[in-house]
Structure 1
Amino acid sequence: MKRFKFSWFIACMALIGQSLGVLAQSNTKEKKPNIIFIYADDLRFDGIGINGNQHIITPMLDRIAEKSVRFNQANVVFSLCSPSRAALLTGRYGSANGVLELGSDLNDGEITIAQYLKKAGYHTGMSGKWHIGKEPKAVGFDFSVFFRSNGTYYGRTINDEGTVAKVEKHCDLYCAERSMDFIKEAAKNEAPFFLFHNTQLPHMNGELIWDARQETKKKYETSKMPVAANRMDDLSGKPEYLKSVRNLSQAKVYGYPDSLAIQKHTLDYYSVITEMDEYLGLLFQTIEDLGLKQNTYVFFMSDNGWMLGEHGFTSKVLPYQPSTKVPLFVIGPDLVPVDLDQMVVNIDIAPTILELAGVGLPDNFHGNSLLPLLKGESLDWRDAFVYEGLGTYGGALPNLTVINKDFRYIETYENRSLEKVIFREFYDQNKDPLEVNNLMDSAEIDEKVNAAQELINAHKTNILNQ
């Protein structure tokens, strides 16, 4: 009898051991999610149809966005190519990571999400526009196919895995195809992958032209292109320096504020966005064809907005809504399509991606993970953030701006010391979304201004002076 009990005990322990072994093996083989981040260039919030634009043609992005978590209050912390990329890659403001100007480089010791993910076992790839000093492989990318800064759409010099050559086809089409190659190869391996895909479009080419194909342009009619209602703004409620800033002088070269000139320009802008949509469609189709949707998260965002005649301006950089607000949506295997109105920014992307990948978050991030919002969790979230307009592109003066769903408060400074405020602006985003009426003389806003100034002072203390 005792021998039977002992044999039964040994058999049970063996079964338990086998079960634990299978469970451990299953956990070991459980693959982390693949992550793809697509960063468009100069795409304003309403640059895709799903964001309320009935005139633009973006069928692929609209189709994907319909199945995504969509953030309707997404902004960047500085509206310029290089700083925006650096902020996204590091999860930190430009004043901390070192990138406040075009082409400037990350400070020594800055770590990118690619480096964190690579250390965690991810195969990392980068394709498309690159606009910071160090090359992609120096900041954690195993695979890199890139062109620097701005330039021609066709005949662009591209560094393809160390081989540099002029590529005759559209640079975005070439890089979309190379991103497809990366995905196909990475999908064969056990390791999860991270792809950072950056478009040139809808950024202008090197001659400051939106050079779309004629057949694309024919899809649009000039007379149906929208015109900014505040295109004739005399800037009387804004800083004096804006009357000589590049945003205004270059707009006049384009023929602004004439409505027909703006419509013709908008047609060109919309046309290259339609071509971007076409090229990105190839990337999304590859994801579907390879059956990766069940374990792949795809983010789509823009590095900054773009002004099409608002206040008579063109371009970006300035701390007004068409410049700072961008599209952002995320599609993934367990995400429920929904529109969210939380105030989110591009420095939130790095912590989000790392948390998705199961990587511990460093304590020097300035952004917050969006994962709880993506998962539908209820939590306290910021109602405002500080826009750090400290670069000098186009003659812009330094500013720190508090952007809230309800208001926008701008402090413009005499110089980079940020010691002397030379102008203040306050706009009611609900009653005055065009940001024409500066309410700084109204006593009714004192409480909101004080709260905004507290945020700016905290930013100076906790970020600028660290």
Structure 2
Amino acid sequence: MSRVTPVLLYSLTGAVVLSSLSSCKEKKSEEVKKTMNVVYIMCDDHSYQTISAYDQRYMQTPNIDRIASEGVRFTNSFVANSLSGPSRACMLTGKHSHANGFTDNTITFDGSQQTFPKLLQANGYQTAMIGKWHLVSEPTGFDYWDILIGQGDYYNPKFIKNGERVQREGYATNIVTDLAINWMDSIRDKSKPFCLFIHHKAPHRTWMPDLCDLDLYDDVIYPMPENFYDKYEGRIPASKQEMSIIKDMDLVYDLKMADKENEIHTTTGLEEAGRNMYNALNPEQKAAWDKHYDPIIARFKKDKLTGKALAEWKYQQYMHDYMRVIHSVDRNVGRVLKYLEENGLMGNTMIVYTSDQGFYMGEHGWFDKRFMYEESFRTPLMVRLPGGKKGDIDEMVQNIDYGPTILDLAGVKVPSDMHGVSFLPLLKGEKVSDWRKSLYYHFYEYPAEHAVRRHYGVRTDRYKLMHFYNDIDCWELYDLQEDRMEMHNIYGQPGTEKLTKELKDELLRLQVQYDDPIRNIYKD
């Protein structure tokens, strides 16, 4: 990506400021203040590998890529807790999970606490939350909210609109986009700045494509990750997970093999849920669904696949449906960009595209997220700031930084108790000499679905140290430069003693900085 030095700079409130100080004084009385709006688009489980701005192997996402090409692409963007609800809580509060109280998906988010949308509200912004919320409690800090119930359904989803339940016919990604555009066009007060959150269910499990995309990519064979058949040597927690495409991905629930004859049965306990998912479709949707899936089911039953052939068939089926779902997301991002462009909002609106965490596209043989390994810890992040930097930003950022950044953009003081820091200077192309050199991560949800053990860790630009705890006690250390796929745990190997001590010291420093009480329980 090209790097362009902007002619204009933007103040914290978004007012255009001429680069010459003398000109600034002369033109001060003539300045037209344009407070920056924010459109924040976030998907659920969108892997950076399936955005063509990051990776060309799988598909093209031209509309999402446009945000990066007209703005910045963060090459080192991460989350604080790779799980949907906790990640959203970290984003809203600017704090790690232990501080905002939402450590896992069994908890109800405390909506009375400080969030950055509340601070925007108090400073004259309109705020709206549309789409996936997934924090159990009702949204607070929003002038308008229209949210999916729970995980949400892909087809004919139920919403809660400012407290009222309503079901809408159609496909969730289209509906959420319709609602977002309608809010911008017909509901908001156009004399005030706004911050709009567009939160898609897609591409969360079970990857149900829009009807018009069911046959998309039929002729594509996706490349297998080189560690698809990982045996997890030296990584005990990885060997105990239950998110394997081979063993844990359900034929009926995940891969839509709900045959009319009821001859396909599974052992994961999800078969009935898969059939109920199909039965919830309306007649028109079922007809399109059957036209696509019935021939696949027939071939599957005829072939009687087993072993490696079955594993690789499951991988291809998963990848096809996932890419189809992303294609719909990209199309709808294009609709949002078109609306902003046609309504003169591109010049004073910061546009963000991200995901609540990363996702495994067969790496290590997995789907899902949770682990601190790169594919789930790392998340896509692209930001288009009018007048700002263009190109890549390599500094390490985390989703706890989003709130401070947006507050900074709006000219609102960032509370001292937020753990995150504003990366607005980076968006403006400024050099920040004292930017963070490490990141802290903590995952809590065990025992639970997918059986990923609790762990915390530290990541630097080259190394990663993790400690798995609770029902297990083991450490993992990776050299990300030499072992980018994190296949070789070098913890305890001769010659790593000094590095290990340095990383443990840094880990403790971060735990003290963020006041994580775990530091008082697990010491080494």
TM-score range, shorter chain: 0.7 to 0.9
1:235-246 pair list within 5 angstroms: 235-239=232-236, 241-246=237-242
1:5-50 CA distance string (max 9 Å, x none): xxxxxxxxxxxxxxx9x967x77x7242111111111011112111
Matched, 1:230 2:284: no
Aligned equivalent of 1:8: none
Closer/same/farther in 2, CA of residues 108 and 165 from structure 1, 3 Å limit: closer
Task: Give the 3-state SS of the residue equivalent to 2:506 in structure 1.
Answer: helix
Distance 1:376 1:237 in 2: 42
Task: Give the conservation status (yes or no) of the 8 Å contact 1:74–1:345.
Answer: yes
Which structure 2 residues correspond to residues 245-264 of structure 1 after superposition, within 5 A? Answer: 245-248=241-244, 251-254=247-250, 258-264=311-317
**Counterpart position of 1:14:** none
Q: Which has the higher helix share?
A: 1
Shift of 1:63: 2.2
Alignment of structure 1 residues 98-109 onto 2, 5 Å = 98-102=101-105, 104-107=107-110
Once residues 54 and 245 of structure 2 are traced to their aligned partners in structure 1, the CA distance between those partners, rounded to angstroms, is: 29
3-state SS of paired residue (1:252): coil
Name structure 1 gaps, 5 residues minimum: 1-19, 416-420
Compute the TM-score of the two structures, normalised by the length of structure 2.
0.78
Q: What's 1:5 paired with?
A: none
Within-5 A mapping of 1:77-116: 77-102=80-105, 104-107=107-110, 110-116=113-119
What's the CA shift for 1:188?
5.4
**Cα pair distance change 1:250/1:360, threshold 3 Å:** farther
Q: Is the 8 A contact 2:42 2:200 kept in 1?
A: yes
Task: Give SS of 1:264's match.
Answer: helix
Residue correspondence of structure 1 range 50-129 to structure 2 within 5 A: 50-102=53-105, 104-107=107-110, 110-129=113-132
What are the within-5 Å matches in structure 2 for residues 19-418 of structure 1? 30-102=33-105, 104-107=107-110, 110-136=113-139, 139-185=140-186, 189-204=190-205, 209-213=206-210, 215-221=212-218, 223-239=220-236, 241-248=237-244, 251-254=247-250, 258-379=311-432, 380-392=434-446, 393-394=448-449, 395-415=451-471
Deviations 1:186-218 (A, max 9, x none): 6752210011110111112xxxx3111464243
Partner letter of residue 245 of structure 1? Q
Q: Give the ranges of 4+ consecutive aligned residues of structure 1 lying more than 4 Å apart after TM superposition.
A: 254-257
Local SS of the residue matching 1:314: coil
| Identity of matched residues, % | 29
For 1:365, the aligned partner's letter is M
Q: Is the 8 A contact 1:126 1:141 kept in 2?
A: yes
Aligned counterpart in structure 1 of residue 500 of structure 2, from 423, 446, 449: 449
* Alignment check: 8 A CA contact 2:245 2:314 kept: no
Query: Structure 1 residues 56-65 or 368-377, which shifts more?
Result: 56-65
RMSD: 2.3
Deviations 1:161-184 (A, max 9, x none): 333121111122111111111212
Local SS of the residue matching 1:298: strand
Q: Is the 8 A contact 1:222 1:267 kept in 2?
A: no
Residues 426, 438 of structure 1: 8 Å contact kept: yes
Deviation by residue 1:388-423 (Cα, 9 ceiling, x = unmatched): 1122243222211112231221111135xxxxx711
Is structure 2 residue 431 aligned with structure 1 residue 434?
Answer: no
The residue aligned with 1:15 is none
Q: Deviations over 1:306-357 (max 9, x none)?
A: 1122222221111111111111011021113111111111001010000000
Change (3 A) 1:348 1:54: same
- SS at the partner of 2:40? strand
Secondary structure in structure 1 of the residue aligned to 2:53: helix
* Matched position secondary structure for 1:425: strand
**1:264-314 alpha-carbon deviations (Å, 9 max, x no partner):** 211111110011111222111111111101111011111011112222222
The 8 Å contact of residues 181 and 339 in structure 2, kept in 1 or not, is answered as yes
Q: Is the 8 A contact 1:155 1:166 kept in 2?
A: yes
Which residue of structure 2 aligns with residue 4 of structure 1?
A: none
Equivalent residues of 2:111, 2:138 under 8 A apart:
no
Change in 2 beyond 3 A, CA 1:230/1:54? closer
Instruction: Determine which of 506, 510, 519 is the counterpart of 1:459.
Output: 510
Distance (Å, rounded) in 2 between the aligned partners of 1:87 and 1:113: 11
How many residue pairs get aligned? The number is 432
Letter paired with 2:50: G
Instruction: Report the secondary structure of 1:126's partner residue.
Output: strand
Question: Which AA in structure 2 matches 1:464?
Answer: D
Which structure's CA Rg is the greater one? 1
The alpha carbon displacement at 1:366 in A equals: 0.6
Whether contact under 8 Å (1:425, 1:440) holds in the other structure is yes
Q: SS at the partner of 1:231?
A: coil
User: What SS does the aligned partner of 1:165 have?
Assistant: strand
Please tell me the residue identity of whatever aligns with 1:149.
G
In the superposition, relative to structure 1, how do residues 266 and 272 fare at CA in structure 2: closer, same or farther (>3 Å)? same
